[in-house]
Amino acid sequence: MPPEEFERWTCTPFPSSIAYELANSVPRSEARVIRRVADSEGAILGRISGLMAVIAIMAAIGSALAVTSALSTSVLERRSEIGLLKAMGAGTGRVVGLFLAEAALLGVTGGLVGALAGALMARFISSSVFGTPVTIRPFAVPLAIAVALAITIAGFIVPARRVLKFRPAEVLRGL
């Protein structure tokens, strides 16, 4: 094999090694890699990776909006409790901290459930499509929990502002 071809074979291992093995296994044959096809496959994979990143970001934004909606509803439903807490001397920081702790607990629980469900689905899909189960990396579960917690805290910003605006006298007047 000439040096230039050997260098190209070592730099693109998968298509070149298959062509090399085909040429060696079939007598009096020559197998070459069509570079345009291999390069276009790489470009397609790059675009798919970018598309998956955009989908993941959009899913995170959608999750943050859903968390904001759910926590805003919770704050509005519990405004009399917030008014009572503030009237009894609880500072705004304590009330926000109470709701933040509740949101963090929900975020950690959601991250754990999501990570476990995702791992089970990935194993099922991998074994049904490829015939072998995928191995889940150990850092995937803590990463999923951390991302879920970050999304939950980001979604808590709007409800926290609403809690800050509640005045005990105005809230308790309607009771």
Measured CA to CA, the distance from residue 142 to residue 9 in angstroms comes to: 39
Q: Tell me how far apart the terminal alpha carbons of the chain are, to the nearest angstrom.
A: 89
Q: Give the confidence band of 12 by pLDDT, cuts at 50, 70, 90.
A: low
- 7 has a pLDDT exceeding 70: no
Dig out the tokens for 164 from the structure.
């800050």
Q: Give the confidence band of 175 by pLDDT, cuts at 50, 70, 90.
A: low
Asked if 138 and 115 count as a contact pair (C-beta separation under 8 A), the reply is no
The enclosing H or E element of 30 equals none
The per-residue pLDDT for 61 is 92
**Number of H-type helices and E-type strands within the chain:** 8, 0
Residue-wise pLDDT for 64-100, tens only, equals 999 999 989 988 888 888 888 888 888 888 888 988 9
On average, the pLDDT of the chain sits at: 84
The per-residue pLDDT for 161 is 85
HEC assignment per residue over 83-99: HHHHHCCCCHHHHHHHH
The per-residue pLDDT for 62 is 93
Report the amino acid identity of residue 55.
Answer: I
Residue-wise pLDDT for 131-172, tens only, equals 888 888 888 889 999 999 999 999 998 888 888 887 777 777
The per-residue pLDDT for 59 is 92
Q: Specify the higher pLDDT residue, 46 or 71.
A: 71
